Structure 1
Amino acid sequence: MVKTYYKAINWNSVEDAIDKATWEKLTEQFWLDTRIPLSNDLDDWRTLNDTEKKVVDHVFGGLTLLDTLQSQDGIDQLRKDIRTPQETAVFNNIQFMESVHAKSYSSIFSTLCSADEIDEIFEWTDHNEFLQKKAEKVNEIYQNGTPLEKKVASVFLETFLFYSGFYTPLYYLGNNKLANVAEIIKLIIRDESVHGTYIGYKFQLGFKELTEAEQDRFKDWMYNLLYDLYDNEERYTEDLYDDIGWTEDVKTFLRYNANKALMNLGQNPLFPDTADDVNPIVMNGLSTGTANHDFFSQVGNGYLLGHVSAMNDQDYDIGRK
């Protein structure tokens, strides 16, 4: 009998059904930015004033940085602590789509902005103190944290920290502007919803293996991390939105999504904010299905994507029963 040197992945013998379900969910909603007709938003873009354009530019610059962090460092670190062979395949898919997300913002920039404006966006992104601080905080956990700490950092990033940027395109979508830009954001949100629930589920499996005392200590660490990230995110939000007057609305949206992140981790919410407290224009933008049609039946720039729906809370309701 030859000694096994390398094991083949066997999708016919799956240890965790959530791995297979997540793989199928992610592959069925595959998309690329090159198929969204962003140039159709140029007329809307020209109606925005300079302050509004600056906000859009900078929030997308910030999102580009966070997706870069997730695709280059975050998923690599999470992949080191897998429980099943299929989990590696799921993380491979997630890593690729995070790269697609990061590239999508550059497609938006190249459509709406001049070369000099694009240079300014990345200069701002590379040197904004609050943006750099949250990237540093999350990546420090990726590089030096425990497997459970890394999963918490990832869920906080994807289900909470992204949303200070997501607010802007959802607001414009709710006001019937920049529909194709928002289409990309809704597709990204749909992906991140699956990523957050899946990684949160994997966290819950490991968390249940801790003793009660270990769980209590870990909860203290987790909520302290959230407080720290939220404090910085408030300042980042003020830096982005004070000039346009949206700061307090965005903070409410952040607190609502921080609670969603905790829910993905199987934990109790921290903030009193609910969907009813969020600007209804933004919630409408978040919940409205896209006008785009089936992407498997069309090719080229004219095709638009089918119904974009985020994961429901119950889709991965394992561990919270």
Structure 2
Amino acid sequence: MTKYAAYEAVNWNNIEDAIDKITYEKLTEQFWLSTRMPVSKDRSDWTKLPEEEKRLVEKVFGGLTMLDTLQSESGIDALRKDAKTQHEIAVLNNIQFMESEHARSYSSIFSTLNTKKEIEEIFRWAREDDYLQIKAQIIDDIYSNGSALQKKVASVFLESFLFYSGFYTPLYYLGRAKLINVAEVIKLIIRDESAHGAYIGYKFKVGFNQLSDSEKEEIKTWTYSLLYKLYENEVKYTESIYDKVGWTEDVKVFLRYNANKALMNLGLAPLFPDTADDVNPIVINGLSTGTTNHDFFSTVGNGYLLSVVEDMSESDYDY
């Protein structure tokens, strides 16, 4: 007999939940790195943007960097504590790495388009913006103190809803054939986040279905209350960064549309009346545009072999 504790080796030939295997394979097939993206090709577009729009781009990417950092440093650790299988832990490990890569992607964009002084200002703004800090604090508090299901709800709301006030801007530019390479980095991130939100939402549904009727009603009430709280703050955040360029109302529609997507990932009924038909068609067009850049000599671009971008569709949000 060994004197050591019996550590269990993960066995991928004995899968307890097929969704773990499917998701792991999907995420590894989607693997990409920000260093392979030719963002420098967008410098000409960047120099032509009005100053107000440059500041907007900087803020939305600064905010997204902070939220990806929160998810990689706190969120996945919190979810991992409640994992039911070793394969689920493996999926979460993959998600954690890619959240770190997403955060690195924005720094790659900043280093290409911005000066050192501008980059320092972007990160200073992210540390000091009240609305950005409030939503991060709300989510992080749930990660620290919430139940297993509450933590999953917070994660899905972060990945499937709160990111989208920032995603609107690059998708808008992509739909207008501007900052194409920057926007395609965001499309890769969106593709990842769609898979993350769907997977964690599935794990929520597994736990939710094991509850009594009264417990189900309790977590549903809590979930909708949290969404209202986050939405109220997100509206203020949106107004604070989009009012100067006049896009605020369109972004709010996009927020509500994606809030419904987050609820659908959780298996819950949509809250808002907004559908894809209500979203600015330029943004929907940007969301559904496939690979438009490929360097056949170096295979760099979002069409390179490790990461072929496909058209986004409704089904990308769901299993």
TM-score, length of structure 2 as denominator length = 0.95
> CA 1:19–1:119 in structure 2 vs 1: closer, same or farther (change >3 Å)?
same
Q: Which amino acid aligns with 2:155?
A: S
SS at match of 1:289: coil
- For each residue in 1:174-213, what CA deviation from the matched residue of structure 2 results, as whole angstroms up to 9, or x when unmatched? 0000000001100000000000000000000000011001
Of all paired residues, the percent bearing the same amino acid is: 64
Matched position secondary structure for 1:242: helix
Q: How many angstroms does 1:84 deviate by?
A: 1.0
Corresponding residue pairs, total? 316
Supply the distance in 2 between the matched residues of 1:302 and 1:148 (Cα, whole angstroms): 35
Q: Distance in 2 between matches of 1:126 and 1:302?
A: 31
Distance 2:112 2:124 in 1: 19
The answer to whether the Cα contact below 8 Å between 2:303 and 2:309 also exists between their aligned partners in 1 is no
Distance 2:314 2:253 in 1: 21
Instruction: Label 1:306 to 1:147 Cα distance change in 2 as closer, same or farther (>3 A).
Output: same
Per the alignment, residue 101 of structure 2 pairs with: 100
Aligned AA (1:157): L
Query: What is the alpha-carbon distance in structure 1 between the residues aligned to residue 203 and residue 314 of structure 2?
Result: 17
Partner of 2:55: 54
Specify the alignment match of 2:239 in structure 1.
238
Deviating more after overlay: 306-315 vs 19-28:
306-315
Opposite residue 288 of structure 2, the aligned amino acid is S
Output the amino acid matched with 2:270: P
Kindly tell me: are residues 288 and 301 of structure 1, through their superposed partners in 2, closer, same or farther at Cα, counting changes over 3 Å? closer
The answer on whether the counterparts of 1:189 and 1:310 sit within 8 Å (CA) in structure 2 is: no
The residue number in structure 2 matching 1:224 is: 225
Measured at CA, do residues 7 and 131 of structure 1 come closer, stay the same or move farther in structure 2, by a change above 3 Å?
A: same
Q: Structure 1 length as normaliser, TM-score?
A: 0.94
CA contact (8 A) 1:191 1:310 kept: no
**AA in 2 matched with 1:205:** V
> 2:176 and 2:299 mapped to 1: Cα distance?
29
CA apart distance, 1:312 = 4.9
Flag the 1:120–1:223 CA change in 2: closer, same or farther, 3 A: same
Alignment match, 2:308: 306
Question: Which residue in 1 is equivalent to 2:252?
Answer: 251
Residue in 1 that maps onto 2:262: 261
Aligned residue for 2:91?
90
Cα offset for 1:301? 7.3
Structure-2 separation of matches of 1:315 and 1:45: 31
Aligned to 1:207: 208
Deviation at 1:314, TM superposition (A): 7.6
Partner of 1:165: 166
Distance 1:236 1:315 in 2: 24
| Contact 1:134–1:229 under 8 Å retained in 2 | yes
d(CA) in 1 for partners of 2:218, 2:180: 45
Matched, 1:282 2:283: yes
Q: Give the gaps of 5 or more residues in structure 1.
A: none
Corresponding residue of 1:141: 142
